[in-house]
Amino acid sequence: MFDLTGKSALVTGASGGIGGAIAKALHGAGAKVALSGTRVEPLEALAAELGEGAYVCPANLSDADSVEALPKAAVAAMGSLDILVNNAGITRDNLFMRMSDEEWQSVLDVNLTSAFRLMRGSLRGMMKARWGRIISVSSIVGATGNPGQGNYAAAKAGLVGMSKSLAYEVASRGITVNCVAPGFIATAMTDKLNDEQKGKILGQIPAGRMGSAEEIAAAVLYLASPEAGYVTGATLHVNGGMAMI
Amino acid sequence: MSDIADRVKKIVVEHLGVEEDKVTETASFIDDLGADSLDTVELVMAFEEEFGIEIPDDAAETIQTFGDAVKFISEAV
């Protein structure tokens, strides 16, 4: 349905479940994709699976220089950068009273500060092209909070406020800036939960099931499409009704 | 008029969509030529590319008029 032929996309965290699905969806719609992550092997496996128009651009998002270099590497590989997907994220969960400065800072660095730097580094080309799509993967917990995730929730809520501010600045240049906020998604991370934990979570989800990575990717694909040109500053919640906001 | 001034004027005219005779020595990008703050950032980006120079942010803030731009670029190239 959505055609991204001729567009180039950078996806961070592409070695993960959701990031991989996003890369596949954008590539499937005709876009070139630069796959970023810290682990090269899964990125190369994904690039091989996608075939032509997929490029591996490893980066360490906790390192400022590595982040600054990433948009340039993506442009060098693909020729341009029209779509930025800030998907990478880490967790360092701990109760607030026990949370260390390091746990706080590492999550803010990777989940929020790197997104800021990647957005800043991608804007020049988008401004000149008068077209751009920036999509950040936030989280339901950025809106609702979650015990043990003060750092993660702060970073995920931060993405929303940051995206809205940038959306104001660049809307007149044909650049949209949005967030997708997943609820509970079946990934390697949630596979580790036991049946009792899963049952508890499912009881809070009107849809009665966890979401799939593909369902998040579909939301990202829509926001990346030409058809979503009038949607900016929005957060698209994809959570099976878990939080209707 | 110098070659640099001509090239700067061409960028300003194209980017802001103004008449060439409005772009005078003292014409302020924002007050006289209808630029918004993002336009001024884009103009600086365009100057950097046209002349192959780096214009640091603190210098960019001092470039308010067409004359400022020509003067800065003439000294930088």
ipTM field: 0.80
Contact A57, A35 (CB under 8 A): yes
For tokens 């900016």, name the residue.
A232
User: Tell me, what's the pLDDT at A123?
Assistant: 96
Residues in chain A: 245
Give A128's contacts in chain B (Cβ within 8 Å).
45
Give B42's contacts in chain A (Cβ within 8 Å).
127
Q: For the whole model, what pTM was predicted?
A: 0.93
Would the pLDDT of B17 be above 70?
A: yes
Q: Which of A152, A168, A222, A230 is catalytic?
A: A152
User: Tell me, what's the pLDDT at A45?
Assistant: 97
CB pairs under 8 A between A and B: 8
From first CA to last CA, the distance across chain B in angstroms is: 17
Alpha carbon distance A225, A141 (integer Å): 26
Would the pLDDT of B1 be above 80?
A: no
Q: Which of B3, B6, B36, B39 is catalytic?
A: B36
Tokens read off for A7: 């567009």
Alpha carbon distance A13, A59 (integer Å): 9
For tokens 């803010």, name the residue.
A108
Tokens read off for A101: 């400065």
Residue A45 neighbours by CB distance under 10 Å: 14
B33: pLDDT confidence band, cut at 50, 70 and 90? very high
Local structure of A238: helix, strand or coil: strand
User: Tell me, what's the pLDDT at A169?
Assistant: 96
* CB–CB contact B38 A124 (8 Å): no
**Residue A190 counted as an annotated binding residue:** no
Q: Which of A68, A109, A83 is nearest to A2 (CA)?
A: A83
**Residue B45 C-alpha, separation from nearest chain A C-alpha, in angstroms:** 8
**Whether A152 is catalytic:** yes
Question: Taking every pair of C-alpha atoms in chain A, what is the biggest distance, in angstroms?
Answer: 53
* CB–CB contact B38 A172 (8 Å): yes
**Residue A115 C-alpha, separation from nearest chain B C-alpha, in angstroms:** 21
Instruction: Give the mean pLDDT of B8-28.
Output: 95
CATH entry, A8-238, from 3.40.190.10, 2.40.30.10, 3.40.50.720, 3.60.15.10: 3.40.50.720
Numbered residues of chain B with Cβ closer than 8 Å to any chain A Cβ: 38, 42, 45
B70: pLDDT confidence band, cut at 50, 70 and 90? very high
Give B45's contacts in chain A (Cβ within 8 Å).
124, 127-128
Where exactly are the structural domains of chain B?
1-76
Q: Which of B76, B74, B77, B63 is nearest to B12 (CA)?
A: B63
**Residue A68 C-alpha, separation from nearest chain B C-alpha, in angstroms:** 17
Of A124, A170, A172, the CB nearest to B45: A124
* CATH T-level fold of B1-76: 1.10.1200
Q: Mean pLDDT for each 10-residue chunk of chain A (245 residues)?
A: 96 96 98 97 97 97 96 98 97 96 98 98 95 98 96 98 98 97 87 84 94 98 98 98 95
Q: Which of B45, B77, B15, A170 is nearest to B63 (CA)?
A: B45
Task: Report the amino acid identity of residue A204.
Answer: Q
**Residue A87 counted as an annotated binding residue:** yes
